[in-house]
Amino acid sequence: MVTEHDHICWGGGHHHCGGHTLAVEGICAAYGKNEVLTNISFKASCGQTLALIGPNGAGKSTLLNLLAGLMPPTDGSMKWNDTPLQAARHETAFMPQRTEVNWAFPITVRELVEMGRYPSTGIWKRLQHHDTEIVEKALHTLDLTNLQHRQIGALSGGQQQRAFLARALAQEAHILLLDEPFTGLDVPGMESLGELLRTLTAEGRLIIASHHDLSTAAQIFDQALLLNGRTIAYGATTDVLNEQNLLTAFGKRHITVAP
């Protein structure tokens, strides 16, 4: 079946009828009695890059956590192709913030990417030939083949991000959830990661990332969800990031958007 977004979906091998759409409806989240997200709704499809933008404490990370299944919503529904997202765990891959990763952990790039095969193989099955091929393809796609035997701490910031993206590719997930992927990268690193994300979406993935840099958001992401505990605006990034919306989200402290 041909979907409205004409793209080739890389890998997966899962058949989807009715397109590749993530539909989030009225979700709420709370830590204890503190409600941090209220009534968030949006629809996003394969082939899109969606930025989650908002001030600190706006609930960007919480929203990613909800989508990744790290915490349950207190209300609302999340559906991937009309089935609950919770039942399609293999379809989401999560990439942590760089500062949260223990870079001294004794694993190589290849071992990190191989972790992505776990949801498919489970506890009892070893990696098959098929899995090895997928791992190698992911390494190749992200230009990490020559670095595959390096310990992950011995990589540059951009290479580290690519290694985690390679794990997400090896997982063959359609939805990539990235927590502040651009933080701490230098300008060339940011540019090449941005280009990479566009390539990955063109291949049929949906990328959702929290992002704090307003000046680069429009270059990297085609959709944006501006939030501050609730939805302030959702749509094309350039439309969403207008003066009025930013004032609502950030108050007076907001940083002006670079031309």
Spatial neighbors of 230 by CB under 8 A, at least 6 apart, are 37, 38, 39, 40
* Residue with Cβ nearer another protein (174 or 240): 174
Comparing CA positions, the residue from 16, 8, 187, 27 lying closest to residue 88 is 16
In whole angstroms, what is the distance from residue 188 CA to residue 115 CA? 28
**Is residue 31 classed as helix, strand or coil in its secondary structure?**
strand
CB of 171 to another protein, least distance (A): 8
The DSSP code for 88 is: -
Whether the CB-CB separation of 220 and 49 falls below 8 Å is answered with yes
Rg over alpha carbons for the chain, rounded to the nearest Å, is: 18
* Residue with Cβ nearer another protein (106 or 259): 106
In whole angstroms, what is the distance from residue 61 CA to residue 69 CA? 12
Tokens of 23: 């539909």
* Residue with Cβ nearer another protein (10 or 118): 118
CB of 100 to another protein, least distance (A): 8
Whether the CB-CB separation of 9 and 203 falls below 8 Å is answered with yes
* Residue with Cβ nearer another protein (22 or 246): 22
* Residue with Cβ nearer another protein (83 or 219): 83
CB of 249 to another protein, least distance (A): 26
CA 41 to chain centroid: 17
Binding positions for another protein, rule: CB under 8 A: 65, 68-70, 89, 92-96, 100-102, 105-108, 111-112, 115, 118-119, 121, 123, 151, 167, 171, 177
* Residue with Cβ nearer another protein (70 or 202): 70
In whole angstroms, what is the distance from residue 130 CA to residue 12 CA? 13
Interior angle at CA 108, CA 107 and CA 111, nearest 5: 80
CB of 8 to another protein, least distance (A): 25
CB of 214 to another protein, least distance (A): 26
* Residue with Cβ nearer another protein (19 or 96): 96
CB of 191 to another protein, least distance (A): 26
CB of 238 to another protein, least distance (A): 31
In whole angstroms, what is the distance from residue 210 CA to residue 155 CA? 23
